[in-house]
């Protein structure tokens, strides 16, 4: 066998261009299945892992997938919102802890996640530098955001303008980077985390401006208990020590919008009670992330089945192509084969030799494809093409 | 006496009442009797297409006759299976071709040792013999080269070494000097005859060159045999 391998290797390496082209053909055909397998496995693992550590989500009635993707992976937006008040009567403190989530805005393309400090403990997120967003206007960013935007504590990030030509829209908010999170390999690496109040200020629910009454020219209307300013009043787009006092909200924070609430029941009994209450609610819906992800993965695997069917056809076509190449090669090498037979090689030996040559090319092609797929998947995952 | 054949072992080649036809061809080769004693050098001459190469292939067991008996090195080829004939060819017969038939993807060394690579039954290479053989034929300097980087004469020397490396009892050479100039022809013939004599082997060589026949112990003229029409041009199966 050693001699056969040596003879086969000598032939393959001598005709390196021919062998290389054939190996590349095989690599191109096998690359995609490898890449898809790796990415689907990663996709499945990442989705499932995050979902399984989130016991229960509460969001507005509507698309379950929107709620799931928005709350767990900060992708997309939910159409409808809920208020803390809606959940308060159901998810009571004696049964569970709730963590608010408000994901509506972005900063430099990265999602701004309005939440409470409990979120960082719940996700087991560690600080690499700085602090959590303890003050209004502070942002603690994920490792990926920090690396991509080259930000460090003390720098600033500005929320994205969403409605450029809407004069009534709120101004982008300049947020101070309070800290950077350690890499977690999850969607949190791409988040700009702020307090929910900061997120509401970005939405224009809360704001800060010059003291209207300090300049009579700024007063548009003055009534019983309220003063309305005109367009000359400067609205602050940064929360500093000097401007902090001026920021305020109109209305109670319990009525302000949230994307979702993460519900952490105290025990199984609490979980069952809370879930039952939520299920009977007319305005909110409970969502078990693990179940939601299973449904989502069913869609993914359905789509993959079509891909696999196509792959069978491509593989069959490639096998026929390789068979043609082998047949032509045998014809071209007829004289060499006759020489080997004259010297004393058996036909089995010749078949074995040609098979080993083909195997070498196939193995090289497959290894090349697997390496390429691993590299491409690594880049795709690192570039956050999935999350 | 050989138990398989009853022939005396001082006969290297014994052909009796040989009849061979190529399928679908009118060609017919008939040799009533042909004997070549061991350690002899026999030249086969005859017109093109008279069946000289066919005879070599029959002697090597590559082709099988339609009738008659061929005994080579004490073995009756028709009495043994193909695997045994192949083994005999590997172990007891050395073949030299007009076109050298070297494999371009192998080095000179690997080309010479090709029989050992194809047949593990040959055992380990006798390195001392290999070294001596390549040195005497003057190709020891080119062992790591590819055949295409050698001259015609050097290539034929490599082919001769490949035929002799297994120390066979019989060398079958099919016009080994057919493509060479007179000077190289003389050198190659010297090399081959010299090596055959050193190995105490028997040489059967097909040639068109009548000036060479005086170097041989016997000459077999194919004009003596019945050939009903010309063999296929390549004279190969």
pLDDT by residue (tens digit) across A137-159?
A: 999 999 999 999 999 999 999 99
Q: What is the pLDDT of residues A211-227, one digit of tens each?
A: 777 777 777 777 777 77
SS3 A225: coil
| Measured distance CA(B51)–CA(B230) in Å, rounded | 8
Measured between alpha carbons, how far is residue B131 from residues A161, A377, B127, B135, B166 in Å? 84, 54, 6, 6, 13
Q: Show residues of chain A in contact with B110, CB under 8 Å.
A: 6, 10
Test the A interface: residue of B54, B105, B174 with most A CBs within 10 Å? B105
Per the CB < 8 Å rule, is B62 touching A342? yes
- Of the listed ranges A126-135, A167-176, A314-323, B61-70, the least confidently predicted one is A167-176
Share of chain B above pLDDT 70, in %: 90
Test the B interface: residue of A343, A347, A351, A353 with most B CBs within 10 Å? A343
Q: Given CA atoms A215, A219, A224, A225 in this order, what sign does their dihedral have?
A: negative
Q: What is the pLDDT of residues A34-76, one digit of tens each?
A: 888 888 888 788 888 888 889 999 998 888 888 998 999 898 8
Question: What is the Cα Rg of chain A in Å?
Answer: 31
pLDDT of residue B171: 92
Average pLDDT over residues B84-91: 87
Q: Given CA atoms A184, A75, A249, A286 in this order, what sign does their dihedral have?
A: negative
Output the average pLDDT for chain B.
Answer: 84
For the cut 50, the answer to whether the pLDDT of residue B3 exceeds it is no
pLDDT of residue B4: 39
Q: Which of A6, A11, A14 sits opposite B117 (nearest CB)?
A: A6
Share of chain A above pLDDT 90, in %: 32
Number of residue pairs across A and B with CB atoms under 8 Å? 53
Say whether residue B160 is in contact with chain A using an 8 A CB cutoff. no
Distance from CA of A29 to the nearest CA of B (A): 28
Q: What is the pLDDT of residues B113-143, one digit of tens each?
A: 999 988 878 888 889 889 988 988 888 999 9
Per the CB < 8 Å rule, is A338 touching B83? no
For every residue of chain B, DSSP letters joined together read --TTT---TTEEEEEEEEEEE-TTS--EEEEEEEEEETT-EEEEE--TTSSHHHHHHHHHTSS--SEEEEEETTEEGGGS-HHHHHHHHHHHEEEE-TT----TTS-HHHHHTHHHHH-GGG-S--HHHHHHHHHHTT-GGGTTS-GGGS-HHHHHHHHHHHHHTT--SEEEEESTTTTS-HHHHHHHHHHHHHHHHHTT-EEEEE-S-GGGGGGSSEEEEGGGSEESSPPPTT---
B48: nearest Cα among B27, B72, B33: B27
Per the CB < 8 Å rule, is B90 touching A340? no
Average pLDDT over residues A284-293: 88
Instruction: Decide the pairing of beta strands A96-107 and A260-265.
Output: antiparallel
For the cut 70, the answer to whether the pLDDT of residue A165 exceeds it is no
B168: nearest Cα among B88, B76, B61: B88
CB B41 within 8 A of CB B212: no
pLDDT of residue A384: 63
pLDDT of residue A260: 92
For the cut 90, the answer to whether the pLDDT of residue B144 exceeds it is yes
Say whether residue B104 is in contact with chain A using an 8 A CB cutoff. yes
pLDDT of residue A302: 83
When pLDDT is cut at 50, 70 and 90, the band that residue B226 belongs to is low
The residues on A that touch B, with CB distances below 8 Å, are 3-4, 6-7, 10-11, 13-15, 335-336, 338-346, 349
Per the CB < 8 Å rule, is B118 touching A3? yes
pLDDT of residue A164: 62
| Measured distance CA(B198)–CA(A131) in Å, rounded | 92
In the DSSP assignment, the letter for residue A244 is G
Per the CB < 8 Å rule, is B114 touching A343? yes
pLDDT of residue B236: 40
Say whether residue B183 is in contact with chain A using an 8 A CB cutoff. no
Average pLDDT over residues A242-262: 84
Position with higher pLDDT, A258 vs B233 = A258
Complex ipTM > 0.90: no
Alpha carbons within 13 A on the beta-carbon side of A221: 5
Measured between alpha carbons, how far is residue B147 from residues A6, A84, A168, A245, B159 in Å? 18, 86, 85, 91, 10
When pLDDT is cut at 50, 70 and 90, the band that residue A373 belongs to is confident
For the cut 50, the answer to whether the pLDDT of residue B25 exceeds it is yes
pLDDT of residue A385: 59
Look up the pTM and report it.
Answer: 0.67
pLDDT of residue A322: 85
pLDDT of residue B1: 36
Output the average pLDDT for chain A.
Answer: 86
SS3 A44: helix
CB A92 within 8 A of CB A104: no
* The token pair that represents B237 in the structure block: 């199966």
Beta bridge partners of B16: B33, B69
Cα nearest neighbour of A14 on chain B:
B105
Per the CB < 8 Å rule, is A344 touching B90? yes
For the cut 70, the answer to whether the pLDDT of residue A166 exceeds it is no
Q: Given CA atoms A325, A328, A334, A335 in this order, what sign does their dihedral have?
A: negative
pLDDT of residue B102: 92
When pLDDT is cut at 50, 70 and 90, the band that residue A167 belongs to is low
pLDDT of residue B90: 86
pLDDT of residue B74: 86
pLDDT of residue A45: 84
| Measured distance CA(A151)–CA(A145) in Å, rounded | 8
Position with higher pLDDT, B90 vs B172 = B172
At residue A235, φ and ψ (nearest 5 deg) are -90, 135
Position with higher pLDDT, A168 vs A147 = A147
Say whether residue B59 is in contact with chain A using an 8 A CB cutoff. no
Per the CB < 8 Å rule, is B103 touching A336? yes
| Measured distance CA(A181)–CA(A140) in Å, rounded | 7
pLDDT of residue A274: 85
Q: Show residues of chain A in contact with B119, CB under 8 Å.
A: 344-345
Instruction: Decide the pairing of beta strands A248-249 and A206-207.
Output: antiparallel
Other Cβ atoms less than 10 A from the Cβ of A168: the count is 6
pLDDT of residue B186: 84
First and final C-alpha spacing in chain B? 33
Per domain, the residue ranges of chain A are 2-46+297-383, 62-205+250-281
Per the CB < 8 Å rule, is B103 touching A341? no
pLDDT of residue B27: 79
Say whether residue B120 is in contact with chain A using an 8 A CB cutoff. yes
């Amino acid at each position: 066998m050693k001699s056969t391998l040596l003879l086969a290797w000598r032939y393959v390496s001598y005709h390196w261009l021919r062998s290389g082209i054939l190996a590349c053909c095989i690599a191109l055909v096998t690359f995609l299945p490898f890449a898809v397998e790796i990415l689907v496995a990663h996709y499945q693992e990442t989705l499932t892992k995050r979902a399984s550590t989130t016991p229960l989500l509460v969001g507005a009635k509507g698309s379950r997938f929107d709620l799931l993707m928005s709350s767990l992976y900060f992708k997309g937006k939910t159409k409808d919102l809920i208020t803390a008040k809606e959940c308060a009567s159901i998810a009571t403190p004696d049964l569970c802890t709730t963590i608010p989530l408000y994901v509506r805005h972005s900063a430099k393309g990265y999602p701004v996640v309005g939440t409470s400090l409990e979120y960082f403990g719940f996700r087991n997120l560690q600080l690499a530098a700085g602090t959590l967003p303890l003050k209004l206007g502070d942002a603690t960013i994920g490792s990926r955001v920090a690396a991509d935007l080259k930000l460090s504590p003390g720098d600033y990030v500005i929320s994205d303008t969403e409605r450029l030509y809407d004069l009534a829209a709120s101004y982008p908010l300049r947020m101070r980077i309070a800290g950077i999170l350690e890499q977690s390999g999850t969607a949190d690496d791409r988040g700009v985390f702020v307090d929910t109040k900061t997120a509401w200020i970005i939405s224009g629910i809360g704001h800060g401006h010059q003291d209207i009454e300090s300049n009579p020219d700024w007063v548009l209307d003055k009534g019983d208990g309220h003063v309305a300013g005109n367009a000359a009043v400067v609205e602050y787009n940064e929360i500093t020590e000097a401007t902090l006092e001026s920021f305020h909200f109109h209305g109670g924070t319990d009525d302000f919008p949230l994307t979702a609430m993460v519900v952490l029941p105290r025990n199984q009994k609490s979980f069952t009670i809370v879930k039952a209450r939520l299920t009977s609610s007319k305005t909110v819906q409970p969502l078990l992330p693990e179940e939601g992800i299973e449904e989502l993965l069913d869609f993914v695997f359905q789509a993959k089945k079509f891909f696999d069917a196509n792959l069978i056809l491509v593989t069959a076509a490639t096998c026929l192509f390789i068979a043609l190449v082998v047949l032509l090669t045998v014809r071209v090498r007829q004289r060499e084969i006759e020489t080997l037979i004259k010297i004393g090689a058996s036909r089995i030996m010749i078949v074995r030799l040609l098979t080993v040559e083909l195997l070498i090319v196939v193995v090289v092609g497959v290894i090349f494809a697997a390496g390429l797929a691993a590299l491409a998947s690594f880049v795709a995952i690192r570039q956050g093409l999935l999350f | 006496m050989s138990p398989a054949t009853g022939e005396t072992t001082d006969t290297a080649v014994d052909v009796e009442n040989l009849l061979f036809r190529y399928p679908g061809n009118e060609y017919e080769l008939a040799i009533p009797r042909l004997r070549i004693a061991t350690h002899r050098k026999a030249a086969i001459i005859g017109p093109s297409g008279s069946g000289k190469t066919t005879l070599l292939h029959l002697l090597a067991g590559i082709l099988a006759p339609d009738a008659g008996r061929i005994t080579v090195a004490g073995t009756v080829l028709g009495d043994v299976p193909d695997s045994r004939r192949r083994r005999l060819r590997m172990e007891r017969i050395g073949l030299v071709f007009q076109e050298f038939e070297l494999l371009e993807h192998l080095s000179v060394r690997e080309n010479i040792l090709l029989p050992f690579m194809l047949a593990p039954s040959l055992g380990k290479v006798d390195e001392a013999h290999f070294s001596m053989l390549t040195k005497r034929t003057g190709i020891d300097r080119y062992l790591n080269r590819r055949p295409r980087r050698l001259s015609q004469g050097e290539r034929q020397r490599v082919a001769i070494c490949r035929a002799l490396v297994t120390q066979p009892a019989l060398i079958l050479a099919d016009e080994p000097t057919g493509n060479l100039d007179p000077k190289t022809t003389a050198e190659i013939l010297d090399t081959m005859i010299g090596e055959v004599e050193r190995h105490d082997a028997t040489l059967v060589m097909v040639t068109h060159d009548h000036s060479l026949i005086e170097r041989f112990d016997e000459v077999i003229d194919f004009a003596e045999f019945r050939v009903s029409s010309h063999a296929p041009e390549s004279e190969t199966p």
